[in-house]
Chain A
């Protein structure tokens, strides 16, 4: 069991640039979640995939955000035209049929 992995671990970008993050869930997990965590706060739900289908998106996910999960394996989260308010930790979690979600280490985004 290699756990949930996320890449990159840290990303520094300039305002207006596009960034893409990747999440590799635990191999047999067909359910995948993205959360955003700002400094000193709890994670907030962004979006949910079951296999390759994106079944729910939070209103936090503006038009500049897009997520994909081709073939129901890894997932990517892209932010276009980054803003300073996008600076946060982006967490990925996966699960199979049980209630527990297994989290990755996160990608910390800093927008200058």
Chain B
């Protein structure tokens, strides 16, 4: 079974600064997806960024980028030019590449990191 670990329960950053959230995972699979989801207080979870394990290039989405280290099973999220609206709980999640068999595309989440952005 796959596991996802987020070792930082809380992080804080000053507005306009950069912050990095950490995530490690354990799997015996070679092909998979990794995601970062954002869950603002009392609002629904939205996808921030996605990484396919077979791609060597790190994914980027505007101010959000990842550092994917497949051998180390590490998947960190970097938020540049932090904004007040970035304050939320951030979850790292794993999904098997093949959505058949006993996986069916279900997500395995980490425990989450609460990000506070100070003005």
Contacts and interface: CB of A to CB of B under 8 A. Distances in A.
B76 interface: no
A2 interface: no
Interface residues of A, number: 26
A36 B36 CA distance: 18
Interface residues of B, number: 25
Contact of A45 (B33, B45, B47, B107): B107
Interface string B97-108: 001001011111
Contacts of A44: 109
Contacts of B102: 56
B112 A42 contact: yes
A5 to B, nearest CB: 10
Contacts of A35: 107
Contacts of B105: 31, 33, 48, 95, 99, 101
A63 interface: no
A80 B104 CA distance: 26
A7 to B, nearest CB: 14
A91 B89 CA distance: 15
A105 B91 contact: no
Contacts of B106: 33, 45, 48, 56
A51 interface: no
B80 interface: no
A102 B33 CA distance: 15
Nearest to A103: B45
Contacts of A43: 45, 91, 107, 109
Contacts of A50: 104
Interface of B: 4, 6, 33, 35, 37, 43-47, 50, 91, 93, 95, 99, 102, 104-112
6 closest residue pairs by CB, A with B: A42-B109, A103-B45, A105-B44, A45-B106, A48-B104, A99-B33
